Amino acid sequence: MATTETSVAVLAIEDAALQQEGDRAHVRLRSELGIGSFGIMAVRQAKAGERVIGEHDELGPGANRHEELYVVLQGSTTFTVDGEEIDAPQGTAVFVRDPASKRASVANEDGTIVLAIGGRPGEPFKVAPFEALAELFPLYNAKDYEGSERVIEEMLAEYPGNALALYNLACVQSLQGKGEDAIVSLREAVDAWPKFKENAAADEDFAAIKDDPRFAALVA
């Protein structure tokens, strides 16, 4: 990234893959460029036939319930929004107004890049919970569970009761042998977002507490 001491920041999307998932890369434009007034990111898919935008809505515990605009910067993709297929070659803009709408897209060409911009009408911008947890995952992958717990606690101070944060907190507490704390955090996560029962039942992070009857009751 090239920046100056003025109001200008420049970032080459092709050279800025910040989170790689196989052939798919997320470019965190908002945080990289220091944007504070709206949410924005780009997704690059190297291979045709593979997903660009994973299926999701904007209602879950990691989301902001915002409107979302997608712009195809390079290549071509097919969106599916609430079951409707939309062909989107380079230069196409697809606006998903309803946060409850399920949306996803698949690349039709190698090297497809889609820009995503989001916000809630009439409200000041606030970082989505999933983005607020971005520092967690490198620590978790490095098995720094104490550091992971600190990041989550800081996020919870800003988003009290957030189910995504509480679920991840339960995971790292279990991995540290803090079984009692993990049960409490998982109970709060499941109470806030019952779908986490299914995640927890299959999550190896809870191996240390899976024989606890309280865990069995939570995931039943």
Domain boundaries, the chain: 2-119, 133-219
Using a pLDDT cut of 90, give the percent of the chain over it.
78
Distance CA 105, CA 191 (A): 31
β-strands 24-27, 76-81 pairing: unpaired
Q: Are 146 and 176 in contact (CB under 8 A)?
A: yes
Q: How many residues does the chain have?
A: 220
- pTM for the structure as a whole: 0.79
Q: Are 166 and 185 in contact (CB under 8 A)?
A: yes
Tell me the two tokens of residue 17. 């893959």
> What is the tens place of the pLDDT at every residue in 41-77?
999 999 999 999 999 999 999 998 999 999 999 999 9
The SS3 assignment for 176 reads coil
**23: amino acid identity, one letter:** D
> What is the tens place of the pLDDT at every residue in 172-205?
999 999 999 999 999 999 999 999 999 999 999 9
Half-sphere exposure of 105 (CA within 13 A, CB side): 31
Q: Is the pLDDT of residue 3 over 70?
A: no
Instruction: Show the beta-strand stretches assigned E in 90-134.
Output: 93-96, 103-107, 112-119
Q: Are 167 and 200 in contact (CB under 8 A)?
A: yes
Can you identify the CATH homologous superfamily of domain 133-219? Tetratricopeptide repeat domain (1.25.40.10)
Domain covering 2-119, topology: Jelly Rolls (2.60.120)
